[in-house]
Structure 1
Amino acid sequence: MVNRKVLDPEMSPGAAFGQRLRQLRDERGWTQDELGARMGCTGTHISAVETGRRPPTNRFAAGADRAFGTGDKFQRMVSALQNTALLEGFPEYVRQEVRAAEIRLFELGIVPGLLQTPEYAAAIATGAVRRGAITEQQADERLTLLAERQASLVRTPPPFVYAVLDESCIRRPVGGPEVMAVQLAKLVAFAELPNTVLQVAPYELGERRPFDLPVRLVTLADRSMIAYAESAMQGYLDRNTGLVLPMLTAYHQLQAEAMPQAASVAMIEQLRKGTP
């Protein structure tokens, strides 16, 4: 019991599910093996769901509802988890981002959310809806959260924001020429702020580019750090210093290899002026 993991239900929908599962199990005095026997699975499986190492399935949720006599409460929690437009780990990242002293971003393919114009962000969300990747309600959820995140940057003192954009971010057309022209102008304005650094990682970096996935690094006021990276289907949040520091080192290497801010802004300006 001494090494029992502390569960934070605010971290993500999956964490809330695991915390509720443990709470009801504790109230009944059941071990994980005893609950597993009632649900038709192993105690190891129960442990993995409680601590967020495995996501709960519909079948697992139905078994939990039967074991605890909770109607369909666990099934509704899983439904909400599956229907959210946010990747696992991202809600907790956002809660730390709004407290950040420093934010480091690396993005591929699209402009980072914190730097997007409303029109650019809406075009990205609309594209996802058309592909069937998310619903219109989920698109609204994403856009609302993005607006809140951007608003949180306007505080005193503001966070220092470092952004390295792969060249694909500024060359990939999104939303049509007018939307791109405004978006590129916003990047130039961002680079002029006293608390920002904007760089472009050119295609010529090739294999010297250290990241193949988007990366976000947050430094809090107490100098502790968290890292968040994601693939198309899953997000990963980490506070482990042994894992975060190598990512910070790789980010510094990326900054050293990327174009200086002046050259980066010049490239963006050239693209902007060439956009009808």
Structure 2
Amino acid sequence: MQMDEILGTKGSVDSLEREWYKTRPGPLLEGFPEYVANEGKAVEIRLYEIGIVPGLLQTPAYARCLADSNVRRGTITPGRADRRVRFLAERQAALVRERPPMMLMVLDESCVRRRVGGPAIMAEQLDRLLEVAASPNTMVQIAPYEMGEHRALDLPLNLLTMPDMTVLAYAESQIRGHMERNTDSVLALLKNYHQVQAEALSQAATVAMIREVRKAFS
């Protein structure tokens, strides 16, 4: 938006365009814009994902492939697909700041083995994961299939630690997202996250697995 350029807020967590997206009906689940507003301010982000690479780690080509797939199924329009991809790019850009948040990410093994797009898209995406794993403010772990029933979480989960050290939780169903602030509920989810993290592969073993999967797309 032109006003963001005038105010110097373009691309920031305080941009008017981001605030406009929060109030405009679109391709985002109910509750998700509220989560994103807090994500951009968090000092620590914990993610657990199943099936696809988390949005914050997706390459533009990977994100576009997922959005276009929704268009082909008729669940969103091409215009909304474009907005979804742009919105994701804004989320990623908002985390590039002088003091970036610590990011702890546990990915189910399906995230790196499920093929999205062609070999070139997957190769680029796996390279991106390796790049992220090498960053000093991130930790990437894979929860291998072998964890079986020991996996404490069966659905994706996002946990945000805010500047005042409060922790917020966010989870989604197929039709809506929900922000949880109740201390007891969030602490229970945090405990489950820690259990998954403890059972997951180390970052070194995770990098080795990603490199091995990457060979199939060379």
Q: CA deviation at 1:230?
A: 0.6
Of stretches 234-243 and 196-205 in structure 1, the one that deviates more from structure 2 is: 234-243
Percentage of identical aligned residues = 57
Q: Residue 274 of structure 1: CA displacement?
A: 2.1
Tell me, yes or no, if structure 1 residue 106 matches structure 2 residue 52: no
Deviations 1:196-228 (A, max 9, x none): 000000011111112221110000010011110
Task: Kindly provide the amino acid, as one letter, of the partner of residue 161 in structure 2.
Answer: T
Q: Which residue of 1 aligns with 2:118?
A: 176
Q: Distance in 1 between matches of 2:178 and 2:64?
A: 25
* 2:175 pairs with one of 233, 237, 248: 233
Partner of 1:263: 205
One-letter amino acid of the structure 2 residue matched with residue 202 of structure 1: P
Structure 1, unaligned runs of 5 or more: 1-9, 17-79
Within the candidate set 77, 90, 98, 2:32 is matched to 90
What is the alpha-carbon distance in structure 2 between the residues aligned to residue 88 and residue 240 of structure 1?
19
**Structure 2 residue runs without a partner (length 5+):** 1-18
Partner residue, 1:158: 100
Work out the CA distance in 2 between the residues paired with 1:250 and 1:210: 5
Whether 2:73 is the aligned partner of 1:124: answer no
Q: 1:200 aligns with which of 135, 139, 142?
A: 142
TM-score by length of 2: 0.88
Structure 1 position 254, deviation (Å):
0.5
Q: Distance in 1 between matches of 2:78 and 2:186?
A: 35
Q: Which amino acid aligns with 2:147?
A: L
Counterparts of 1:273 and 1:154, CA distance in 2: 30
Q: Which amino acid aligns with 2:95?
A: L
SS at match of 1:109: coil
**1:254 equivalenced with 2:196 (yes/no):** yes
- C-alpha RMSD of the superposition: 1.6
Q: Within the alignment, does 1:224 sit opposite 2:166 as a pair?
A: yes
Residue 155 of structure 2 corresponds to 213
Deviations along 1:69-121, one digit per CA (max 9) or x if unpaired, are: xxxxxxxxxxx64xx21111100000000001000001110000000000000
In the TM superposition, 1:19-38 aligns within 5 A as: none
Q: After the TM superposition, which parts of structure 1 deviate over 6 Å for at least 4 consecutive aligned residues?
A: none
Residue 256 (structure 1) shift = 0.3
Structure of higher RCO (CA pairs closer than 8 Å, 6+ residues apart): 2
